[in-house]
């Protein structure tokens, strides 16, 4: 498995985190991001990113989105310390509006639409037209521009009345076959065989979105058609078995056994309800809006889901999945006439309905006095519960939606309060020592009414009130005294930079805009307004200049927070008995159900269980599969995507330059060799990285340093990168300093980086201690939410040195290290501090440094002097002595035990060791195994939220992983059956072609310029040449059934020699160890 991806998956703490590994883009990056351009997300990797806050996880994704996504804010704070300089390509309104193809009124009318309004939107260089479908009233935003990454989305308002999870189950179910595409899961066929750059669906508390994206026009329209047919004519409303599979059902394999609950959403939500952060977010939301649709859980409460009937489910679809209740978005460089033509065909089949009235979201009336809620969450038995309480303060800010300028100002306030480690509210809370980590997402404006939430976790019971007081006094103080001028400037630049850079990572820009627009449009407000940030931004800037920041922000704090009685304080207490209690309650219900059944009922149920499984495991007939439109191999470019690279030398340091259009933004990576670092210092590396950015120098406090970064650059991050290198014993291990700025500020950027790596003082013991506790809390959270990442890292650590290193810096070993370090900081600070200094000395030097730059040609030339100056300032040292890395963990099967209701199960082996020789076909095969065998057995019939495999071509490690899995040994049996699956596999040409095209879709996944330059650098570091990329591509395109058959040996090697790691519940591990005598070595982790 590609190291960086593991590292990233381990470190992802963003709102999207939970399901990250399952995302398509992630699976891509796991297997092929290095070899091919895909989606490197080097975002702060292991170096903890304290600025990423846990939000309330409002959106429930079918798969997890990339962690880059943060479009929930009106400005996406993609880089926590991003900033702008005044030299930003300014006010886009000055540019003349370019001509885009448009729809003549007459043509629109013929197609059944009338134009409501149109505007050129300079902020996104797009012409946007709002149409209304005359017959049904469906609204369509048709956005035209030069972006080849086309986006379509259809959104329905779907407010639930209870917590049965109807919207969520429906979101899953409509993608399980439709009128034109009568197969089990067209969605999966699209995952397998299209060039999509985005394919997903998500459920909000009040709406359900179905977006797709592709750069290939033919592919794009194919995707649109499948989605439209799915939402309007799904088979699930006639097919009870789909409802059972995706929602819930009783499972009874044999009348003599116990009945259990099964269902994809049921299990997914069980996982969600095992995570304290999620529980806290849900309770806070429900308590803030007790009288509205937000007072229930659209995702579904596992205790309530089984109350849902098929009739209610069908009725919900009939009522809300109607054109009159929909909003449709098109974006990109395709022909807007074609968009209306495709839509007209579907929409014309309906008449207007009254759904828009029934789906209206009613606002919550404001409370007259604050409310306090105390709830329990499941904690481990026997764990130290003293410091495990959580508390948040939540405010509903207004009884109606706010205007954009106020919203922007609130967003600003949010950034000032919490946006960076130097932000006062964040800083004071963390420095108070009252808790381990921040909880609550700050200002949230994705729902009808905005809210503000803040609090701490890892708090002891007697300190709960102190946290509340601290929040209130800090806010009062800030309202009275105002903010530091430098802080305001830094926040302003940060926000402006990210608005203009508009770097959505691997997330399509058009989708980010769609979500922004929908955020208002869904409440019948103007869909154009949220796209136009320029005027409110300028207004706010001039108000700040004229009146000063205190006049702008103090009234906001007073009105919306301090004097606002609609405040809900939520306290969460750890309860070691809760998990067992919930489990027992469920068992009891199921026993009652069984007791109430006759012998015939039981036989019938057992028959139904078998029927469902049979249906799930029976492949779709070839005729059905053929209905899903696909491209042909002729549509696929024969060459890999080319990224320009110039390898040069500046003052003795190797420099890679990528001449790409970046709209005047300058991106750079400074790569330092980490191979001379002493082995025992490895676990300190993530904290070292954080210290560099958050400790301050002799002359600058860390607050000043942060503000400086904020004012002058687009952000700086530091993190380790390790990977195996194919054909070599030694791993590749580096520390990467990554930064961006407007090109005119490149020199400032390098100066600041130089300050960070050379002048930062490792002296602040108290801050360091905070870093340790925060990291420990984050790792514990990761263990619960991303156990598959922990399991994957652990297996890798058993199989190769790079994996071992990575695990030391981000896996279970790291967590263990942090736990002892927390105590050591008090006793042994001098030694720790000098170890940090030692890391600096062994890593940062001119020898072994490589510089990577991505910018436009003229900016590349203009900045060479600044690069030269930076290089000259780097310390030099005698020839590098390489440490001999050769460690691995013992090859035992391990169970990492945590309090959970669902497991994460992994098995892996190095298939190069058993003689496998790399061919591009491996990408096709492993993707195919994930999307067919594992999807069907681990997810569909096994009831796990996900199951997939991954092949790290650098190390040769092939691994299987499951996610939120109710099973343990049974899943291992599925993995072991992969060889037989391939052996018996029959495949027609169409299926094979789809598999190949889907793989190319991964390989060619869409990248913004900074990501292209970054991928190219990684290829350079890992020794992957253009010739090799071309050869792999040819091998992918030429993949045949024979290759699948030849892969059997590799799968047998994993079966026979593979090592297993599971992150699982104590009960399941006990049971497994009884069934297979002491199969697992048990490690209690939480």
Q: Which residues bind Zn ion (CB under 5 A)?
A: 268
Rg, Å, the chain Cα set: 28
The residue whose two tokens read 């806070």 is: 284
Instruction: For Zn ion, give the closer residue by CB, 159 or 683.
Output: 159
CB-nearest residue to Zn ion:
268
Minimum Å gap between C-beta 307 and Zn ion is 18
- Other C-beta atoms lying within 10 Å of the C-beta of residue 1012: 23
Using CA atoms, how far apart are residues 619 and 886, in angstroms rounded to an integer? 46
Return the axis-axis angle of helices 787-799 and 765-785, rounded to nearest 10°: 100
246 is known as an active-site residue: yes
Instruction: For Zn ion, give the closer residue by CB, 268 or 301.
Output: 268
Minimum Å gap between C-beta 200 and Zn ion is 10
Using CA atoms, how far apart are residues 121 and 669, in angstroms rounded to an integer? 33
Instruction: For Zn ion, give the closer residue by CB, 870 or 963.
Output: 963
Minimum Å gap between C-beta 279 and Zn ion is 17
CA-angle at 189, arms to 183 and 193, nearest 5°: 150
Residue 699's SS3 state is: coil
Spot the catalytic one: 2, 123, 171, 501: 171
**380, 452, 386, 463: which is closest to 429 by C-alpha?**
463
Helix ranges (H only) for 16-75 are 24-32
Sign of CA dihedral 758, 763, 767, 773: positive
Instruction: For Zn ion, give the closer residue by CB, 79 or 169.
Output: 169
* Burial class, 547, CB count within 10 angstroms (exposed 0-12 / middle 13-18 / buried 19+): exposed
CA-angle at 774, arms to 288 and 62, nearest 5°: 55
The first and second tokens of residue 791, run together, are: 């399991």
Output the CA–CA distances (angstroms, integers) from residue 129 to 118, 143, 616, 1074, in the order listed.
4, 6, 43, 65
Minimum Å gap between C-beta 60 and Zn ion is 5
99 is known as an active-site residue: no
The residue whose two tokens read 């990492």 is: 896
Q: Which residues contact 160 (CB under 8 A, 6 or more apart)?
A: 166, 167, 205, 293, 296, 297, 298
Torsion of the alpha carbons at 780, 786, 788 and 792, rounded to the nearest 10 = -70
Instruction: For Zn ion, give the closer residue by CB, 268 or 936.
Output: 268
Instruction: For Zn ion, give the closer residue by CB, 268 or 444.
Output: 268
Spot the catalytic one: 2, 123, 189, 246: 246
CB-hemisphere CA count at 13 Å for 766?
A: 7
Measured in residues, the chain has a length of: 1086
Using CA atoms, how far apart are residues 27 and 21, in angstroms rounded to an integer? 6
- Other C-beta atoms lying within 10 Å of the C-beta of residue 330: 27
- Other C-beta atoms lying within 10 Å of the C-beta of residue 1071: 14
Element (H, E) at 213: strand 207-214
Element (H, E) at 949: strand 946-951
DSSP-derived secondary structure letter, 234: B
Using CA atoms, how far apart are residues 10 and 5, in angstroms rounded to an integer? 8
Minimum Å gap between C-beta 637 and Zn ion is 34
* Strand pairing class (202-203; 207-214): antiparallel
Minimum Å gap between C-beta 931 and Zn ion is 17
Using CA atoms, how far apart are residues 40 and 3, in angstroms rounded to an integer? 11
DSSP-derived secondary structure letter, 903: B
Q: 3-state DSSP helix/strand/coil percent for the chain, to nearest 5? A: 50, 15, 35
Assess contact for 82 and 715: CB atoms under 8 A: yes
Instruction: For Zn ion, give the closer residue by CB, 269 or 464.
Output: 269
Instruction: For Zn ion, give the closer residue by CB, 303 or 754.
Output: 303
**What are the b/e assignments for 72-91, b being 16+ CB within 10 Å?**
bbbbbbbbbbbbbbeebeee
Using CA atoms, how far apart are residues 170 and 184, in angstroms rounded to an integer? 15
Output the CA–CA distances (angstroms, integers) from residue 981 to 674, 927, 987, 1078, in the order listed.
42, 14, 12, 28
Element (H, E) at 441: strand 437-444
Using CA atoms, how far apart are residues 87 and 500, in angstroms rounded to an integer? 12
Sign of CA dihedral 703, 687, 41, 453: negative
Query: In the beta sheet, which residues pair with residue 373?
Result: 570
Q: What are the catalytic residues?
A: 171, 246
């Amino acid at each position: 498995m590609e190291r960086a991806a593991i590292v990233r998956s381990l470190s992802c703490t963003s709102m999207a985190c939970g399901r990250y590994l399952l995302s398509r883009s992630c699976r891509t990056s796991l297997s092929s991001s290095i070899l091919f351009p895909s989606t490197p997300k080097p975002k702060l990797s292991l170096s903890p990113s304290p600025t990423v806050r846990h939000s309330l996880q409002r959106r429930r994704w079918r798969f997890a989105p990339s962690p880059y996504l943060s479009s929930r804010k009106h400005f996406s704070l993609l880089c926590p310390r991003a900033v702008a300089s005044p030299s930003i390509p300014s006010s886009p309104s000055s540019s003349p509006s370019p001509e885009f193809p448009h729809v003549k009124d007459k043509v629109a009318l013929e197609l059944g639409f009338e134009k409501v309004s149109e505007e050129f939107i300079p902020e996104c260089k797009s012409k946007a037209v709002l149409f209304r479908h005359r017959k049904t009233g469906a609204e369509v935003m048709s956005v035209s521009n030069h972006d080849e990454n086309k986006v379509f989305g259809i959104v329905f308002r779907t407010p639930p009345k209870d917590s049965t999870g109807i919207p969520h189950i429906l979101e899953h179910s409509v993608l399980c076959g439709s009128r034109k595409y009568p197969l089990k899961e067209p969605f999966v066929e699209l995952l397998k065989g299209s060039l999509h750059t985005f394919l997903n669906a998500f459920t909000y508390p009040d709406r359900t979105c179905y977006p797709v994206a592709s750069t290939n026009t033919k592919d794009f329209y194919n995707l649109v058609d499948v989605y439209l047919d799915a939402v309007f004519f799904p088979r699930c409303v006639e097919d009870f078995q789909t409802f059972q599979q995706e929602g819930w059902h009783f499972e009874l394999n044999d009348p003599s056994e116990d009945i259990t609950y099964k269902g994809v959403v049921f299990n997914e939500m069980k996982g969600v309800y095992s995570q304290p952060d999620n529980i806290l977010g849900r309770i806070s939301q429900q308590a803030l809006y007790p009288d509205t649709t937000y007072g229930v859980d659209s995702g579904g409460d596992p205790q309530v889901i089984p109350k849902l009937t098929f009739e209610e489910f069908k009725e919900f679809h009939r009522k809300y999945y109607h054109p009159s209740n929909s909003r449709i978005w098109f974006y990109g460089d395709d022909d807007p006439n074609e968009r209306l033509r495709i839509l007209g065909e579907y929409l014309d089949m309906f008449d207007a309905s009254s759904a828009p009235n029934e789906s209206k979201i009613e606002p919550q009336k404001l409370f007259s006095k604050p409310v306090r809620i105390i709830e329990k969450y499941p904690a481990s038995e026997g764990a130290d519960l003293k410091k495990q309480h959580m508390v948040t303060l939540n405010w509903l800010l207004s009884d109606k939606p706010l205007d954009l300028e106020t919203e922007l100002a609130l967003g600003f306030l949010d950034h000032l309060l919490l946006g960076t480690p130097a932000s006062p509210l964040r800083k004071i809370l963390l420095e108070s020592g009252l808790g381990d980590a921040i909880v609550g997402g700050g200002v949230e404006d994705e729902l009808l009414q905005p809210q503000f939430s803040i609090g701490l976790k890892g708090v002891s019971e007697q300190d709960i009130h102190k946290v509340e007081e601290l929040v209130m006094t800090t806010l009062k103080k800030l309202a009275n005294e105002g903010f530091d001028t430098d802080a305001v400037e830094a926040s302003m630049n940060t926000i402006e930079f990210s608005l203009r850079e508009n770097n959505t990572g691997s997330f399509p820009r058009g989708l980010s805009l769609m979500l922004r627009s929908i955020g208002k449009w869904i409440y019948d407000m103007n869909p154009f307004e949220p796209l136009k940030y320029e005027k409110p931004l300028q207004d706010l800037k001039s108000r700040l200049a004229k009146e000063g920041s205190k006049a702008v922000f103090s009234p906001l704090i007073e009105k919306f927070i301090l004097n606002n009685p609609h405040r809900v304080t939520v306290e969460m207490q750890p309860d070691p008995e809760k998990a067992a209690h919930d489990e027992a309650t469920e068992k009891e219900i199921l026993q009652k159900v069984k007791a109430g059944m006759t012998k015939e009922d039981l036989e019938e149920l057992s028959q139904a269980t078998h029927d469902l499984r049979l249906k799930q495991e029976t492949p779709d007939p070839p005729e059905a599969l053929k209905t899903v439109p696909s491209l042909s191999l002729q549509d696929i470019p024969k060459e890999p995507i080319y990224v320009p690279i110039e390898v040069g030398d500046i003052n003795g340091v190797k420099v890679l330059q990528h001449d790409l259009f970046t709209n005047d933004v300058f991106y750079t990576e400074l790569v330092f060799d980490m191979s001379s670092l002493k082995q025992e210092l490895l676990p300190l590396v993530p904290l070292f990285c954080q210290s560099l950015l958050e400790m301050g120098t002799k002359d600058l406090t860390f607050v000043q340093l942060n503000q400086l970064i904020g004012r002058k650059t687009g952000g700086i991050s530091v993190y380790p990168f390790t990977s195996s290198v194919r054909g070599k014993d030694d791993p590749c291990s580096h520390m990467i300093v990554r930064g961006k700025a407007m090109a005119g500020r490149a020199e400032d950027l390098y100066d600041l980086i130089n300050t960070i790596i050379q002048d930062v003082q490792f002296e602040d013991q108290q801050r360091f201690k905070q870093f340790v506790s925060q990291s420990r809390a984050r790792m514990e959270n990761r263990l619960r939410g991303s156990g598959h990442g922990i399991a994957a890292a652990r297996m890798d650590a058993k199989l190769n040195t790079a994996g071992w290193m990575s695990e030391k810096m981000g896996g279970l070993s790291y967590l263990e290290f942090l736990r002892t370090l927390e105590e050591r900081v008090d006793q042994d600070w001098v030694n720790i501090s000098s170890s940090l200094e030692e890391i600096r000395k062994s890593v940062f030097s001119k020898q072994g440094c490589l510089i990577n730059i991505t910018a436009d040609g003229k900016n590349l030339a203009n900045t060479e002097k600044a690069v030269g100056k930076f290089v000259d300032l780097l310390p030099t040292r005698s020839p590098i002595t390489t440490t001999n890395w050769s460690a691995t963990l013992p090859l035992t099967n391990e169970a990492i035990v945590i309090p959970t209701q669902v497991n994460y199960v992994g098995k892996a082996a190095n298939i190069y060791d058993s003689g496998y020789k790399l061919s591009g076909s491996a990408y096709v095969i492993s993707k195919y195994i994930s999307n067919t065998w594992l999807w069907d057995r681990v997810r569909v019939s096994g009831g796990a939220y996900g199951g997939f495999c991954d092949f790290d071509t650098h190390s040769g490690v092939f691994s299987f992983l499951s996610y939120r899995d109710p099973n343990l040994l049974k899943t291992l049996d599925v993995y072991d059956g992969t060889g037989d699956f391939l052996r018996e596999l029959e495949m027609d040409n169409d299926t094979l072609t789809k598999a190949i095209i889907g793989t190319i879709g991964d390989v060619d996944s869409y990248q913004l310029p900074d990501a292209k330059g970054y991928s190219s650098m990684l290829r350079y570091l890992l020794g992957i040449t253009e010739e090799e990329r071309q050869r792999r591509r040819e091998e992918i395109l030429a993949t045949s059934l024979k290759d699948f058959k030849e892969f059997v040996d590799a799968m047998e090697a994993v079966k026979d020699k593979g090592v297993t790691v599971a992150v699982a519940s104590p009960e399941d591990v006990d049971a497994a160890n009884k069934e297979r005598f002491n199969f697992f070595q048990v490690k209690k982790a939480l």
